[in-house]
Structure 1
Amino acid sequence: MKVIKNYLYNAGYQILLMIVPVITVPYVSRVLGPKASGINSYTNSWVTFFAMFAQLGIILYGNREIAYHRDNRKERSVCFWEIEALQLMTTTTSLIVYLLCVYLFSSTFKEYFIYQSLWILGAGVDISWYFMGLEDFKKTVTRNSVVKIISIILTFILIKNSQQLSDYILLLGFAQLVGNLTLWPYLRNSISKVPLSSLRPFSHFYPALWLFIPTITTQVYVVVNRLMLGKMSSQNSLGEFDYADKIVKLVLAVVTSIGTVMLPHVANSFANGNKEAVRNGLYKSFEFVTSVSIPLMFGIMAISKKFAPWFLGNAYKETGNIMIFESFIIVFIAWSSVTGTQYLIPVKRVHEYTISVTVGALINILLNFVLIKFYGAIGAAITTSISELIVAMVQLFYVKKDIKLTVLFKSTWKYIISGLVLFIIVRVICNHIRMTIISLCFEVLIGIIVYLLGLIMLKAPILVELRKILTLKNN
């Protein structure tokens, strides 16, 4: 039940993250105006890059290591202070390099770049990985949600015109920093004091770096996607692809949030030598993400053509077509989140995980040269889907000696058939009624009912697991 509760906490937060842009973007874009919004986006994209180096894969690594040692308070305490000491050192280094770059190379927007540095400071005191390792997602999710809601309220109260860009940047930066600091008081009863002389923070540097490499590789090919599309096609195509990508990945986050929850659970089972629990957890998790990701994929395909111009504006009709081709990644990334985040990383097979991501990145770049040239933004979407499929296939190849692939995919056809029926019915409805918030909710409800009926008729295994959970809850 703990895993289920943690998933619901995490999935709930991902849904909040989906709702926030719907609430704030229309207001902020109008109040700040295109120029100020562009400056914020530009300066924040650079600081995000440095903040990523400040954390150096520690979110994943710290999560896993705390899970390994969580049953021994002394070992857990040493582990925490060593990793946090390393995080403070990498953050300090990143901040110094960032500020040097700002003073040496930035002739414009220097003030805004300096204000954005609060995000790097926030990264240095982020200890959410510790509570994730303990499988205590309630604290991190509740904290993040409260901070997010307060920052939204303050945005509406304090930000009134384009001259307040500095205030807006400082507001978001302080929200991140203060939000991360609010977790520290919870440490008092969880860890012990450790002599400084006994700490060996650099022993964690290379393992954390190995987890950082696939992270930065993924970020690089996401950026390269956009750079190649902007260079080989038009800026309009880039904008259309960018929004399609964001919408699809917002939906995807609801599925992949299970990976963050399962990582410490699997890592702890692995540390205790319970390999059978690791395998069973993987089978159940794969069944779950397959059963959820397939209807989400077909659902987006069914409504995207009408949803995109309704939500974004008539200028974004092509975004709907792009979403259809990119929606496949919801399933492929869901699968790789199980084999990669929930298996290869917890059982210390990071090298294989890195290879899979690197192969996907190389395939992505090579295919872009061909598909973007002939098909523009749709070509970039097809490339993204193919590269994510390759990542999943490579990871499946690496786990096939430990995990039976026939068991993993035994019931997948049931979810695909139910999803196809969902797609046909919702697509027909969508084509015959005007897109409104009410009709959208109606189509989602019909899709859920149709899909569940399909699972019941085909006796999908996920229903058995759901029945077990409900029985346990009632008892």
Structure 2
Amino acid sequence: MKKNRSLKKNFLYNFSLNIINVLFPIITMPYVLRVLGADSMGKYNFSVSFSQWFLIFATFGTVTYGIREIAKVRDNEKDLDKTFTEIFLINFIATTISIFVYITIIFISPKTNMEIELFLIAGILIFLNLFCIDWFYMGIEEFKMITLRSILIKLICLLGIFIFINEKNDYNVYALITVLAFGFANIINLIYSFKFVKFTFKEINLKKHMKFIFVFFYSSVIVSVYTLFDQVFLGFYATNTDVAFYSLTKQIYYIALSITLSISVVLLPKLTNLANYDILAYKKMLIKSIDYIYLFSIPAVIGLIILSKDIVWVIGGEEFEGAFISLIIVAILVFTVSLGTWQYDQLFLPLGHEKIGLKNQLFMALMSLLLNILLVPKYGYIGASISLVITEISGTIFGIYYAKRKITEVKFKYITKSFSKYIVASIIMGLVIQWFKFLGFASLYNIAFGIIFGSCIYLSLLFFLKESICREFYHYFQNKVNFL
């Protein structure tokens, strides 16, 4: 019973954290983008992306590996202290090396040397990784600390932004606020961790971790090529405005994606458990989980495309209006990336086909690198957007091909019975939103109508079409009301 309560609490903390991570940029972005403008935001985004690239090397795979290893020994105090110390030391060594390499490069490279103060501030991110132990808290499932700390840090950031960011040249101050907030969080983490663990240097063995940690490091570097390196490449071979437009597009896209994926993630533990002992129940749940992806991602794509100009204008203002083209291009990824993530988390992992994930990541990294080299110098942020879309769609298709050819444990169809219903309802919803836009209301009203009335129209149509998930929810709430 105690364990179930703990799981419920952890779920609520995780859910709260996701809500905070979505709301924070929605609140801060309109102000920051209007004050700093495209050029200054481009400089900031480039510097942070550049430092985050080195942060991948600084963490050295310890994040995912650390969670797994801490979870294994969390009930043994001696082993917990020893494992914590060993992983902390590996992170410390990798971070120290990364700091020296980063500082050397930013002084040598003409592009980074032009804004050396900004890049030094951004580099503090790497230094503060010395104290980053999020992997420890996740390993012992101390989600309360992670959530409460995140709320506190974001509130401090919020105050700092509205007090100190007042003009276009404040981009260095903005970078300092975000970096110091990250550092403050890490220091709090480290101090609080001594409630659960302590450093011990007796019989430590770093070598035993290296074989496995390299796998996680290799994976994180590959993923960063197509999730992070595109902005770094854009910073070197395009303008600051290109970087700002592309960064804004990705932020909006990630917000929509996180909402879609948060529904799917809840089903992962149950699917993994079912795959071990009841393959028929697993298949049934698998079909339902992919329907959840379709239910949320298809209308999200339609909504982003139709409301792209309004969304960009409300968040970024007139100076960022050109970014709506990029948002239209990447909108489809809310569907394809959601599907690709579903494949890996709910199909490949539960059935023991995790190696395909690494192959797919390598394939996507090479494709992203090639496309960015070809498209970014000539087409800027539009080229980066096209590269991202082709890469992600190719990765999802690769996964579908593998699933059809190699997975024999369970057979299913990607096109479910409800798929056409989601398409029809989304198109009708989109037409109604487009009609409302023709009436000439302000962008904020268009977005409000699109989200509120668009959702009502979409769900009503699905209920009319007898879509299974909507009808299940309807009967569930009907029973609750009748019970009361």
1:115 is matched with 121
Cα offset, 1:451, TM superposition:
1.8
Structure 2: which amino acid aligns with 1:460? Answer: E
Q: Which residue of 2 aligns with 1:217?
A: 222
Q: Which amino acid aligns with 1:327?
A: A
1:321 shift after superposition: 4.0
**1:329 deviation in Å?**
0.5
Whether 2:98 is the aligned partner of 1:90: answer: no
1:355 corresponds to 2:362: no
Query: Is 1:60 equivalent to 2:73 in the alignment?
Result: no
Residue of structure 2 equivalent to 1:14: 21
**Aligned pair partner of 1:144 in 147, 150, 170:** 150
Distance 1:259 1:60 in 2: 20
Report the CA distance between 1:115 and its aligned residue.
3.3
User: Do the aligned partners of residues 315 and 407 (structure 1) sit closer, same or farther apart at CA in structure 2, a change above 3 Å counting?
Assistant: closer
Query: Could you tell me the percent identity over the aligned residues?
Result: 23
1:155 alignment partner AA: I
Asked if structure 1 preserves the Cα contact closer than 8 Å seen for 2:46 and 2:232, the reply is no
Q: For residues 317 and 84 of structure 1, do their structure 2 counterparts lie closer, same or farther at Cα, with a shift above 3 Å needed?
A: same
Q: Separation in 2 of the partners of 1:289 and 1:146?
A: 32
Measure, in 1, the Cα distance between the counterparts of 2:378 and 2:52: 33
Would the alpha carbon gap of residues 323 and 112 (structure 1) be closer, same or farther in structure 2, given more than 3 Å must change?
Answer: closer
Deviation readout 1:125-152 (Å, 9 max, x if unpaired): 2222333345544432331122012112
Q: Deviations over 1:312-367 (max 9, x none)?
A: 45565554344233211001111222233566568875532121122233444556
86-95 vs 5-14, which moves further:
5-14
CA contact (8 A) 1:24 1:152 kept: no
TM-score (norm 2): 0.77
Aligned residues of 2:35 and 2:167 also touching (Cα < 8 A)? no
Which shows bigger deviation, 40-49 or 376-385? 376-385
Match for 2:189 among 178, 183, 188? 183
Q: Map of 1:390-429 to 2, 5 A cutoff? A: 390-399=394-403, 400-406=407-413, 409-429=416-436
Give the C-alpha shift of residue 300 in structure 1: 0.8
1:333 aligns with 2:357: no
Gap change, CA 1:299 and 1:224, over 3 Å in 2: same
Unmatched 5+ stretches in structure 1: none
Bigger mean CA offset, 231-240 vs 150-159: 231-240
RMSD of aligned residue pairs (Cα, Å): 4.4
- Whether 1:252 aligns to 2:251 is no
- 2:327 is aligned to 323
Stretch moving more, 311-320 or 298-307? 311-320
Q: How far apart in 2 are the matches of 1:182 and 1:408? A: 48
The answer to whether the 8 Å contact 1:55/1:91 transfers is yes
CA distance in 2, matches of 1:365, 1:248: 21
Give matches, 1:209-358, under 5 Å: 209-221=214-226, 240-257=245-262, 265=269, 285-309=289-313, 311-313=315-317, 319-341=323-345, 344=348, 350-358=354-362
Over 3 Å counting, the alpha-carbon distance change for 1:112 and 1:316 in structure 2 is closer
For 2:388, the equivalent position in structure 1 comes to 384
Is the Cα contact below 8 Å between 2:133 and 2:186 reproduced in 1? yes
CA distance in 2, matches of 1:267, 1:96: 44
Q: 1:244 to 1:389 in 2, by over 3 A?
A: same
Write the deviation string for residues 249-299 of structure 1: whole angstroms up to 9, x where unpaired: 332232335677777x479959x9668698787655444333222221111
User: What is the match of residue 203 of structure 1?
Assistant: 208
Select the residue among 129, 135, 142 that pairs with 2:135: 129
Question: 1:266 touches 1:346 (CA, 8 Å); kept in 2?
Answer: no
Residue matched to 1:453 = 460
Tell me which amino acid in the other structure corresponds to 2:147. V
Residue ranges of structure 2 left out of the alignment (5+ in a row): 1-6
Contact 1:286/1:408, CA 8 A, preserved across alignment: no
Distance 1:269 1:66 in 2: 22
Separation in structure 2 between the aligned mates of residue 171 and residue 314 of structure 1, nearest angstrom: 25
* Distance in 2 (alpha carbons) for counterparts of 1:412 and 1:40: 41
**CA distance 1:268–1:420, shift in 2 (3 Å):** closer
Structure 2 CA distance for aligned equivalents of residues 461 and 73 of structure 1 = 48
